[in-house]
Amino acid sequence: METAARPNGAAASKDSNDIPPLQYRVVAKCSVTKARVGVMSVRHADVDTPVFMPVGTQGTLKGVLPEQLLALDCRIMLGNTYHLGMRPGTTVLEKAGGLHSFMGWPRALLTDSGGFQMVSLLQLAEITEQGVRFQSPYDGSECMLTPERSMEIQNAIGADIMMQLDDVVKTTTTGPRVEEAMHRTIRWLDRSIGAHGRDDDQSIFPIVQGGLQPDLRRVCASELTKRNTRGFAVGGLSGGESKDDFWRTVHLCTDLLPEDKPRYLMGVGFAADLVVCVALGVDMFDCVFPTRTARFGCALTRAGQINLKQRTFAKDMRPIEDDCDCSTCRTYTRAYLHHIVTVEPVACSIVSVHNVAFQLRLMSDMRDAIREDRFPEFVKSYMAVRFPDDTVPQWIRDALAAVNVNL
């Protein structure tokens, strides 16, 4: 049974600040795989896990209103520290009372540290022991993001969960730079913990780094778990590595992290990947994919992604998915969406609502299957629909076999 959302997404009572700002408990485990169901209670919501978290980079989910997310029973979403720190900045966020109030979102928020954007988006980024030096894309001025500054911005944002600033290297990087980044990430965690000014309301998650090298991942996880944090993230994946390397690294990291704390796999959002990684023991996911692909006219279904721009849908009077009860599928046909996608701005919103609903329903279906101890059967059924005629990729077969599910 899902935990009930707090009325209007209301925050927990602040009468007693001796209640930790994040409590996590495992309520069901799969008897075959590493999948589990948990409840993560933060100040603004009780979040059932495994959970997919939509990404609202600038403090808004592109094309979706907060009330639409509430109607979908979304309990937690992401904001981006780098973008929000640059604009509107901490002065405005503090004056607004934090991002929850500023954007009108009453439930839980998670913010990333900004490190990934520094490296992936900026041409002029230089990483030193002090932090990441970069040129502002807004006015060209030179800026420095340090672990301390990242914490300052995230404290102003007021997210329930904050990510430490980590030293991000491209996933496929090899050589001494990977080990240097891993050790620096540990040192930056200690600086982040020292700079964190609101531990009564917000929780830091460290990020396990180490590239595709198992020994480095083991060292990093061993060091990070010595710190008294309330959850952990696995970073440095979904960046171009092979799927074989991807699942093996996830499998290793969930084995290394504590059973009694949530495990967050950063930047993963393809449906088949979610199913595999839940089986491997991951509790939390995020990705821009559902809303980004909607802006290109693509909708998500259990059988895979469909491109509504294709003429094959011009006379298709079915909803995107027959068994989906989101407002999009209750109201619009594929033919109508074909008529407006990429032409009318509202199409982005209509398809985005469905795509987010699809991700949230997939997670809910997995939670139900785990609670009822039929998760392996769910996985087999899902893969048979997603990859008909025995076309399941070998990496998925290998990953699931590692947790005793043989397709």
Residue 167 and residue 173 in contact, taking contact as beta carbons nearer than 8 Å: no
Distance CA 41, CA 25 (A): 9
Among the listed residues 211, 203, 161, 159, the one whose alpha carbon sits nearest the alpha carbon of residue 185? 211
Residue 115 annotated as binding site: yes
Quick check: is 190 catalytic? no
Which is the catalytic residue, given 160, 201, 283, 286?
286
CB of 168 closer than 8 Å to CB of 235: yes
The number of beta carbons lying within 10 Å of the beta carbon of residue 92 is 12
| Residue 5: how many other CB atoms lie within 10 Å | 18
* 116 in a known ligand binding site: yes
Is residue 277 marked as binding? no
Residue 163 burial (C-beta neighbours within 10 Å; 0-12, 13-18, 19+): buried
Contacts of 30 (CB under 8 A, 6+ apart): 36, 279, 370, 373, 375, 376
- Residue written as token pair 């090899």: 174
Q: Cβ(103)–Cβ(58) under 8 Å? A: no
What gap in Å lies between CA 183 and CA 213, rounded to an integer?
13
209 is in an annotated binding site: yes
The response to whether 236 counts as a known ligand-binding position is: yes
Alpha carbon distance 269, 275 (integer Å): 10
Q: Which residue has the tokens 């005629």?
A: 389
The reply, when asked if residue 324 is annotated as ligand binding, is yes
Query: What's the CA angle centered on 102, arms 286 and 357, to 5 degrees?
Result: 35
Residue 166, annotated as binding a ligand: yes
210 appears as a binding residue in the annotation: no
Residues 46, 48, 112, 160: which is the catalytic one? 112
Asked if residue 135 lies in contact with residue 185, where contact means CB atoms within 8 angstroms, the answer is: no
As a whole number of angstroms, the distance between CA 269 and CA 52 comes to 8
Query: Is 48 part of any known ligand binding site?
Result: no
329 known ligand binder: yes
Residue 107 DSSP SS3: coil
- At residue 162, φ and ψ (nearest 5 deg) are -120, 145
255 marked ligand binding residue? no
Pairwise CA distance, residues 383 & 286, whole Å:
21
Task: Tell me whether residue 286 is one of the annotated catalytic residues.
Answer: yes
Q: Please tell me whether 352 is known to bind a ligand.
A: no
Mark 295-326 as b/e (b = at least 16 C-beta within 10 Å): bebbbbbbeeebebeeeebeebeebbbeebeb
Q: Which active-site residues does the annotation give?
A: 112, 286
Which positions make up the binding site for Zn(2+)? Answer: 324, 326, 329, 354
Which positions make up the binding site for substrate? Answer: 112-116, 166, 209, 236
